[in-house]
Amino acid sequence: MTGREAADAGMGKAAMPDIEIRDCFFSFNGVPVLRDVNLRIFHGDFVAVIGPNGGGKTTLLKLMLGLLKPDKGVVKLLGDDPCRTRQRVGYMPQYSTGEKGFPITVEDVVLLGRLGITGLGCRFSKEDRKAAISSLEMVGMKAHMHKRIGDLSGGQIQRTLLARALVSGPEVLFLDEPMASIDIDGQSLLFDLLGQINRDMTILFVTHDVGLLSRYVKSIICVNERVFVHDEPRMTPEMISNLTGTAETCPVEMVAHGMPHRVLERHRKD
């Protein structure tokens, strides 16, 4: 059952989508990045946003969070302007190596996810600290909570950032390239964790690696200036050519297949 079907079955056809984009256009310095985007994502979905580098995946995610404003069109998050509702979501931005030198501990990074719950001028409360610890426990990072962020491996930093995204108890979880700098075993563990989290919240993640589609994924959104939504997690030749324009420019050499749960069709060579 796909996310949309689940939503329809659970809440009826009138259910409000968690994320809705209508007739959206976005350009950067006059260069169109996204054209004519229409999509609806319902509660409980597990969405993979895929596409080539520079195709507009991160832009799409930032539009959903209200970090970027569309030139034209409507973006709604949890039924309202994302700037008003985004405190109710969890966000794990793309990992950058720039944070390695920052003087901050793992625990303090996760606590930053409680901002907005504990307001201006207040110290973080006992409750905040408890939430941070249980969030770290969930991602298996509690043992490292007093370490400096720079002393962690790339994968451990990713898990810390996931804990930070989860610590506010979000309704939707946005992840930008969550699997970057994590090895294959770590990736499958992380997907197991996300699959478990998905029982409580909608998940949307961006990846440039089409081989990274796990059996937990319920829908796929292909982004390459245009956006195509697929309610079933199956890669088809059309999807791949939508992604790439022409087969010749396809950056995806091989599409992995997650047997027995996923059959990804072979990329057709002309």
Partner 1 sequence: MEIFSLPFIQHAILAGLLASIACGIIGSLVVVNRTVFLAGGIAHAAYGGVGLAFFFALPALPCIMGFSLFTALIMAFITMRRRERMDTFIGVVWAVGMALGIILIDLSPGYNVDLMSFLFGSILTVPGSDIGIMVAVDIVTVAAVCFFYKELLAMSYDMEFSRVRGVPVNMLHFLFLALVALGVVMTIRVVGLILVMALFTIAPYLTERFSRSLAGMMAASCMANIFFVFTGLWLSYRYNLTSGATIILVAAVFLMIFILLERFVPKHS
Please report how the helices 154-166 and 126-138 are oriented relative to each other, as an axis angle in degrees rounded to 10.
Answer: 130
Q: Which stretch binds partner 1 (CB under 8 A): 15-23, 96-104, 130-138, 228-236?
A: 96-104
Structure tokens at 28: 């950067």
102 contributes a contact to partner 1 by CB under 8 A: yes
Pick 74 or 112: Cβ nearer partner 1 = 112
What is the C-alpha to C-alpha distance for residues 194 and 161, in angstroms, rounded to an integer? 13
Q: Give the residue among 56, 50, 67 at the shortest CA–CA distance from 32.
A: 56
C-beta of 26: minimal distance to partner 1 in Å? 16
Which of residues 11, 104, 247, 254 is near partner 1 by CB under 8 A?
104
Pick 123 or 269: Cβ nearer partner 1 = 123
30 contributes a contact to partner 1 by CB under 8 A: no
Please check whether residue 214 is in contact with residue 182, taking contact to mean a CB–CB distance below 8 angstroms.
Answer: no
C-beta of 263: minimal distance to partner 1 in Å? 36
Pick 109 or 212: Cβ nearer partner 1 = 109
3-state DSSP of 128-177: HHHHHHHHHHHCCCHHHCCCEHHHCCHHHHHHHHHHHHHCCCCCEEEEEC
Q: Give the residue among 218, 243, 196, 177 at the shortest CA–CA distance from 46.
A: 218
59 contributes a contact to partner 1 by CB under 8 A: no
C-beta of 102: minimal distance to partner 1 in Å? 6
Q: Is 260 helix (H, G, I), strand (E, B) or coil?
A: coil
What is the C-alpha to C-alpha distance for residues 63 and 179, in angstroms, rounded to an integer? 21
43 contributes a contact to partner 1 by CB under 8 A: no
C-beta of 88: minimal distance to partner 1 in Å? 10
Q: In 20-69, which ranges are continuous DSSP H helix? A: 57-64
162 contributes a contact to partner 1 by CB under 8 A: no
Question: E strands, the chain, where?
Answer: 19-28, 31-41, 46-50, 72-77, 89-92, 172-176, 202-207, 219-224, 226-230
168 contributes a contact to partner 1 by CB under 8 A: yes
Structure tokens at 50: 């895929």
Q: Which stretch binds partner 1 (CB under 8 A): 85-93, 187-195, 207-215, 238-246?
A: 85-93
Residue 85 CB neighbour total at 10 angstroms:
18
Pick 92 or 264: Cβ nearer partner 1 = 92
Q: Which stretch binds partner 1 (CB under 8 A): 145-153, 195-203, 210-218, 242-250?
A: 145-153
Binding site for partner 1 (CB under 8 A): 62, 65, 67, 86-87, 89, 91, 93, 99, 101-105, 108-109, 111-113, 115-116, 118, 120-121, 123-124, 148, 150-151, 164, 168
